[in-house]
Each structure stands twice: as C-alpha cells, then as structure tokens.
C-alpha cells in the first residue's frame, strides 16, 4: 500500500509518501507545495491542486490520508483551511483514491504517544519511525508524513478487526 499524507495549508501544504503494509512501512519522498501569498486565494488553491496532482502522478498512491479540520481561533483561517481540504478531497476522489481523515490529536497520539505533542516532537518521532538520518523539514512535510504513518497504524488495526469478524461468522 502506498499512502499520500497531506497537511493542508494555502501557503505551505505538506505532503509525504509512505509505502508498506501493516506496521512495516518506509519513506518514499516528502515535500511541500508553496504558493505566493500575494496571489489571489483561487490561484493559491489551484497551485495546491496542481502540485499535489504532480505528486499523485509521480508516485501513484492508493490512499489519501488527510488531516481533519480542527477548531481555529481565527474563523478566516479555518475557512481557508477547509477550502484547501475540499480541493484535496476532490483531487483524491477524481484520482479514485481511498480517502481517510484523522484528527490532529489522533495523529499526534498515534505517532508520538501524546495528543498534545509539539511540532518538534512529531518531527523527531517521524525521523525515528521512518529511519531517517535527519529530522524532516519543514514541519508541514513532517506532519504530512505523520498523517501517512497514522493511517498505517489504524488501517492495520481495522484489518485485524475485520478478520476477527469474519472468523466469528
């Protein structure tokens, strides 16, 4: 299974590709899609779409793992983040990918073991889990990798639950 993790953002969108099965996975690549804040918001959304579409075409992931919307103190920021998420959901659907969403707290809990972990803690654990030589930067890309890793942990558990259900039938 190949998973594309996305940390949505209109100025810096993080992405990460992780491949494997169950709890055995490895890093393929990661990066960011950056857009100029001077551009109209519609042009920034288009840049996010095009940038992630290139990643999908290059790596052909099976799953789009996306961070769920979360509460933001600034309503304008939350709305813009929701629009970026919507564009990513649309892109995943158009590319016939399985789409899963995880809350920021669950992602941190899964990867770090603490739901209120700091950015640097997530980066350090991603480095360890993916056996990287250096901490992945920027944090947007590290977060995207954490989102992909989260899916491996939860998809594996769901597979086990489903196999137990089949045995009981």
Task: Report CA torsion sign: 49, 57, 60, 152.
Answer: negative
Task: Report CA torsion sign: 55, 57, 58, 61.
Answer: positive
159 catalytic? Reply is no
Choice among 29, 101, 140, 143 that is catalytic = 140
Closest by CA position to 65, among listed 130, 14, 136, 114: 14
Choice among 7, 98, 101, 159 that is catalytic = 7
Choice among 57, 67, 124, 143 that is catalytic = 67
67 catalytic? Reply is yes
54 catalytic? Reply is no
SS3 for 59?
helix
CB-side exposure of 111: number of CA atoms within 13 Å? 33
What positions carry a catalytic annotation? 7, 67, 140
């Amino acid at each position: 299974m190949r998973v594309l993790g996305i940390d949505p953002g209109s100025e810096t969108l993080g992405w990460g590709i992780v491949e494997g099965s169950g709890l055995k996975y490895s890093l393929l690549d990661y990066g960011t899609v950056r857009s100029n804040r001077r551009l109209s918001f519609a042009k920034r959304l288009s840049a996010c779409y095009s940038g992630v579409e290139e990643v999908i075409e290059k790596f052909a992931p099976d799953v789009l793992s996306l961070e769920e919307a979360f509460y933001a103190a600034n309503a304008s920021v939350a709305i813009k983040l929701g629009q970026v998420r919507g564009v990513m959901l649309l892109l995943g659907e158009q590319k016939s990918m399985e789409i899963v969403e995880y809350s920021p707290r669950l992602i941190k809990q899964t990867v770090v073991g603490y739901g209120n972990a700091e950015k640097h803690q997530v980066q350090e654990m991603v480095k360890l889990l993916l056996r990287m030589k250096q901490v992945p930067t920027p944090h947007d890309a590290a977060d995207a990798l954490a989102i992909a890793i989260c899916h491996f942990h939860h998809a594996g558990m769901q597979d086990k639950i489903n196999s137990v259900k089949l045995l009981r039938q």
